[in-house]
Every structure is written in C-alpha cells, then in structure tokens.
Structure 1
C-alpha cells in the first residue's frame, strides 16, 4: 500500500508513493518531498494521504517526523494524513 494519495470524496487516485517501503520514517520523508515538488500542481481539495506502515518492534522507541514546511503545504492543499498500521 504504502502511501496512497487520493481525493476523499471521489476516491480518485492522485499519487502512489514508496511502493515497497513500509517504514514510517522514510515514508514521511518521501511524502514531504512529494508535497514540496507538487504543491504548485495541485489545487486545494479534500485529499487523503494514507500511509501504510509496519511498526518496528525491534526498537524501544522510533518514529519519524513531519516538518513544519510539509505541514503547512499539506494544510494549504487540504491534505489529511491517515496512518494505517499493518502487522508484520
């Protein structure tokens, strides 16, 4: 699944990113880059960026971060981020 970006009301696919990457930190980075590169190509709408990930159970604490810049872009475009955790 990894990152499926679509229009919420119609389920029209906008992009499919990081096809074989199930790590949350790297997917957040890929989404940040994609938002930055495509922000002028998208019209504001009700988008969903659904990130499918597998939790890393071999660490005592891990995760990713999403920059303020990426949050501003996502907010301006109307991108809601879903986090869908899948079993190993």
Structure 2
C-alpha cells in the first residue's frame, strides 16, 4: 500500500440537534484528522443521501457508515469508527 492514498470522502446532509437538514462537517473533523495523520489526502464531496458517509479509494467504496455515528468534533483518536475507516483505506490497496 502506498504511504499516501487519495480518498474521496462523500457525505450527505444530517440533522444536528433536531435542526434543519444540512451538509455539516463537524462530525467529520476526527476522521479527517486521522486520515491526514496517516498521510492520506482527502477530497470532500457532498451527496444527497441523508446521514451517509462513504470513503472511496481507487474508485471503490471501502467504508460506509452513518455520519451521526461519528463522534462530534475531536481528533478521532478515541472514535472506533475512525480507526475502522483508516484500516479500510489501508486495505484498499
């Protein structure tokens, strides 16, 4: 696996505190930090699927979860989904 992969992070809108449905990146911060720390470059892409997060590497879907399942803000170090996503990117090659 190359040290640096290009990851497309596709994310949909979700509700935060029962407010309006919007594309937000607050819950993505930890995952972005983990991926950048591992040496990967990330491109964010908005999609219309509600509460959906997808990681695409080399044109293949390697990880998917609900955005609302990610920890809010933080560095992603304690979020098991961030670790799972990082491992999925590593195994993509």
- TM-score (norm. length: structure 2): 0.29
- TM-score (norm. length: structure 1): 0.30
